[in-house]
Amino acid sequence: MSVRTRATTWSLGLSGLLLLVVVVSAGIGAVTIPPRTVAAILADAVPVPVGVSLGGATVLPLVGPVPTPTLEFVSPFAFSVPRPARIIVLSVRLPRILLAALVGFALATAGTVMQGFFRNPMADPSIVGVSSGAAVGAVATIVLSLSIPFGLEGAAFVSAVVTAFVVYLLASENGRTPVATLLLAGVAIQTFLGAVISFLLLQSGESLRQVVFWLMGHLAGATWSEVGMLALVLPLPFVVLLVHARDLNVLLLGEEDAHALGIEVERTKQLLLATASVVTAAAVSVSGVIGFVGLVVPHMLRLLVGPDHRVLLPASALAGASFLVATDTVARSGGAEIPVGVVTAAVGAPFFLYLLRTREVRSP
Amino acid sequence: MSDFDRSGDTDLGADADSADSDPFGDAGPAIRLDDVSLSLGGHSILDSVSVDVGEGTFVGLIGPNGAGKTTLLRTLNGALAPDEGSVRVVGEDVHALSSKAASRLVATVPQTTSVTFDFPVRDVVEMGRTPHRGRFDGWRERDTAAVDDAMRRTAVESLADRPVTEVSGGERQRVLIARALAQETPVLLLDEPTASLDINHQVRTLELVSDLVADGTTAVAAIHDLNLAAHYCDALVLLSGGRILSAGDPAAVLSEEHLREAFDAEAVVSRHPVTGSVYVTALPPSSDDANGRVHVVGGGGTGARALHLLSAAGYALSAGALNEGDTDAEAARRVGADLVTVPPYSPVDDAARAAVESRVEAADVTVVADVEVGDGNLANLDAAAEADRLVLVEERPFSERNYAGDEGFAVYERLRERGTIVEPGDLLSVVGELACDSFRERDDGADGTRDGETGPGDADAGANDAEPTHDDAGGDDTAADLFSD
């Protein structure tokens, strides 16, 4: 079976799984809604463009009035669904579910790339300090009551990307960035930023609860605008990573070999690191630090589909989306809301240990 | 030192004038290193290295650990840029090319590859096509053909679907060679291709490289095993301290002088009796003759035991004359004895006899093993009869091993009169006793003469010039003579 066929098969299968998980998850909550109803609501909500109407006119300078083309949408199905159920699914549950899917997608993507990049199955998306950086930005915004453009998420995103860049600069010398140095620089910066966060926590006063909640990783209160933001940011870096999947495969052989096989090693490393960091930062800035998704999911999928990133990357991303939707469903379906980071760690750690003991996790 | 510089120039050096007389063939050089110098972390690793390698040549890169072999290979494939000088592969400056373009000219088989992710073998070989594929190119017929061909040549087709992490070391080596072949480059570099392989796989790997070279590939391999290098390579480059100490024909490069200079080790260079290749045997660090100097007359394996015993007991040894290829000659080399040889099946001639006499004279004790005596080696016994202190090892009656007729009996009778007859088990204690006598005598004579007379280096140097058959005779000359046949 060719690589392309395998990639397509796995992607389609896991997309189906994701859809299934979304539908089931949307039915779970204080009010239980049967999956059939959820499916009907979702099908109704999908707009289908049916034609273009040239209604109205826009007045352009020099040209004069020009008819504006407007897409006409029609909801092809008209299922009869109770209105409250429709509102619960579309306005309350769906933003959170889709945000979980996008965050899971992003973290698993970044985790897969980082594990390949570091040739180490224990690497995770925040290994170069992205999560700590985001946390400092977010906590500082909350504690110091800063008001900045794009608010909390903006601050978290910017400080995350800056942190990754600083770690990269610290680890680089003479145009080379040894992976081991990068790892150590990441650890050092994470420790330092941990101290900064602890200090800020001491100063936090009344906002302590909010800060802790953010730090634990959360998807509560997700809005459509957050979903839209992430949906806008993620596709480009993901495509870039997908295009470089073959280079990532060759990099797994070691940098010396990769060079001998015609890869511009340092340039490829820069690109992979920057892209994976942006993906992680985007996810972490809206959801806080959610652990284990980026570690366990790529690992699990590597056992299933093999190490070839052309298959692994999309498969891992889609599985990560399903995984986070499922765990977040658990997090919100209990009596009290639990931060989803707690659930992923509680589910992920034992599962990882199970893999470690039974499936012989391959270490470099 | 000037000696080595000279040999470097005439053989391989890429000085403008000598480069024209390309030692490797008519075609222009596949690889030309011109005055390449490189420092890493402030340490000079390569120092003005110049060498031309002709198309279709198998060049072995030898030298001690840290001589710069791997660095030179990494400079050749573009991984390291030299501080000075240039590296040209089929006329292109490797360091001016993109990594991709360079990888279409030079393929590298690494020494160790940390394949930690379990790609199937075929996938690893397919990665060899990377330099030939654009980012958005699909997989083409040509790629399949190249990969199939590479896997067939290296006989890894049957492993195609196995994870590369689960094949044996020898198989993985072949997979990596297949990957390099799939690159379809004119030049192939191999870093220690035989390290960590068993002897069978070492030979198979080098046979494979030889086949590729026969088909026109140019190969440069860093090889630790001097004997494998000598046997398989068309030319050798001996690196030491980042400089080329010698380059050219294996027999010329592997001289005892060069080896001493490069490896700081005593070694004996001979011809392998089976393959006819140059054969290097490293010797233990030469012992000073604190316990005394012993000459052993043996042959056909009768002297081997005595040589080993005496060597272990710390005596400085000489032996001979022996036919080249004799079991005892090999034993003598192994223990680092100062050996006098004559060609196979030749009798001990006058020159050899003189050499034996000088050694008997220098020795504190001379031991004659339970050797079979014929007309050819009777001269040995005759020379031994002149010894001051003589030990005869007897296991069989002399009549059973005398093929020299009455003359043989006469000579041996003289030996028996002068010597002490011992059983093999008593050899050491008797030799020890006699050596002590010898010391006392000398100390009574003149203080300090002993050092002057028997310092191994002096003695060797003095004796060598006169005797063309002696093993230590000047490196390049001997090698050239040997190689002319």
Highest mean pLDDT (candidates A207-216, B158-167, B421-430): B158-167
Q: With the C-alpha atoms ordered B7, B13, B18, B22, is the resulting torsion angle positive or negative?
A: positive
Residue ranges per structural domain of chain B: 2-270, 283-454
Residue ranges per structural domain of chain A: 97-358
Q: Which of A246, A261, A360 has the most B C-beta neighbours within 10 Å, making it the best mutation to test the interface with B?
A: A261
**Residue of A364 and B213 predicted with greater confidence:** B213
Share of chain B above pLDDT 90, in %: 20
Asked if A263 and B99 come within 8 Å (Cβ–Cβ), the reply is: yes
Asked if B119 and A259 come within 8 Å (Cβ–Cβ), the reply is: no
What residues of chain B, 65 to 94, have a C-beta less than 8 Å from chain A? 74, 77-79
The dihedral formed by the CA atoms of A142, A145, A148 and A150, expressed in degrees to the nearest 10? 40
Residue B461: predicted pLDDT: 39
Give B-chain residues touching A364 at CB under 8 angstroms: 114, 116
Residue B361 has pLDDT above 50, yes or no: yes
Mean pLDDT is lowest, of A73-82, A275-284, B337-346, B465-474, for B465-474
Residue B462: predicted pLDDT: 38
Residue B188 has pLDDT above 70, yes or no: yes
- Topology match between the domains B2-270 and B283-454: yes
Residue B11 has pLDDT above 80, yes or no: no
Q: What is the mean pLDDT of residues B427-433?
A: 83
Could you tell me how many CB contacts below 8 A there are between chain A and chain B? 83
Q: Which of A118, A257, A299, A310 has the most B C-beta neighbours within 10 Å, making it the best mutation to test the interface with B?
A: A257
Q: Which of B116, B135, B143 has the most A C-beta neighbours within 10 Å, making it the best mutation to test the interface with A?
A: B116
Show the tokens assigned to B409: 């009996």
Residue B480: predicted pLDDT: 33
Mean pLDDT score of chain B:
79
Residue A189: predicted pLDDT: 94
Residue B469: predicted pLDDT: 41
Q: What is the three-class DSSP state of B295? A: strand
Condensed to tens digits (0 to 9), the pLDDT of residues B284-297 reads: 655 455 578 899 99
Residue of B nearest to A264 (CA): B99
Residue B456 has pLDDT above 80, yes or no: no
A99/A154 Cα distance (integer angstroms): 17
Question: B199 with B205: CB under 8 angstroms?
Answer: no
Residue A234: predicted pLDDT: 95
Condensed to tens digits (0 to 9), the pLDDT of residues A328-342 reads: 999 888 777 788 888
Condensed to tens digits (0 to 9), the pLDDT of residues B322-350 reads: 888 888 888 888 888 888 888 888 888 88
pLDDT band at A63 (very low <50, low <70, confident <90, very high): low
Q: Does A206 touch chain B (CB under 8 A)?
A: no
- Residue B341 CB coordination number (10 Å): 25
Residue A261 has pLDDT above 80, yes or no: yes
Q: What is the DSSP string of A22-71?
A: HHHHHH-SSS---HHHHHHHHHHHS-EEEEEE--SEEEETTTEEEEPPEE
Residue B470: predicted pLDDT: 41
Highest mean pLDDT (candidates A235-239, A303-307, B252-256, B375-379): A235-239
Residue B307: predicted pLDDT: 86
pLDDT band at B123 (very low <50, low <70, confident <90, very high): very high
Q: What is the mean pLDDT of residues A5-15?
A: 94
Residue A176 has pLDDT above 70, yes or no: yes
Asked if B124 and A253 come within 8 Å (Cβ–Cβ), the reply is: yes
Condensed to tens digits (0 to 9), the pLDDT of residues A35-61 reads: 888 888 888 887 776 777 766 666 666
B66/B262 Cα distance (integer angstroms): 11
Residue B458 has pLDDT above 60, yes or no: no
A62/A56 Cα distance (integer angstroms): 18
Element (H or E) spanning B315, and its range? Answer: none
A108/A172 Cα distance (integer angstroms): 26
Interface confidence (ipTM) of the complex: 0.80
Select from 3.40.50.300, 3.30.70.1400, 3.40.190.10, 2.40.50.40 the CATH code of B2-270. 3.40.50.300
pLDDT band at A32 (very low <50, low <70, confident <90, very high): confident
CATH superfamily of A97-358: ABC transporter involved in vitamin B12 uptake, BtuC (1.10.3470.10)
Instruction: Please name the residue that has the structure tokens 């930062």.
Output: A281
Quick one: fold of B283-454?
Rossmann fold (3.40.50)
Q: With the C-alpha atoms ordered B41, B63, B233, B27, is the resulting torsion angle positive or negative?
A: positive
Asked if B99 and A265 come within 8 Å (Cβ–Cβ), the reply is: yes
Least Cα distance to B51 among B218, B190, B200, B177 occurs for B218
Residue A212: predicted pLDDT: 85
A33/B381 Cα distance (integer angstroms): 111
Residue B114: predicted pLDDT: 62
**Residue of A12 and B480 predicted with greater confidence:** A12
Residue A220: predicted pLDDT: 83
Mean pLDDT is lowest, of A214-228, B238-252, B265-279, B404-418, for B265-279
Residue B283 has pLDDT above 70, yes or no: no
Residue B40 CB partners (closer than 8 Å, separation 6+): B71, B80
pLDDT band at A268 (very low <50, low <70, confident <90, very high): very high
Condensed to tens digits (0 to 9), the pLDDT of residues A102-118 reads: 999 999 999 999 998 88
**Residue of B466 and B98 predicted with greater confidence:** B98
Q: What is the mean pLDDT of residues A263-277?
A: 92
Share of chain A above pLDDT 70, in %: 90
B94/A176 Cα distance (integer angstroms): 19
Q: Does A358 touch chain B (CB under 8 A)?
A: no
Residue A327 has pLDDT above 80, yes or no: yes
Residue of A nearest to B103 (CA): A262
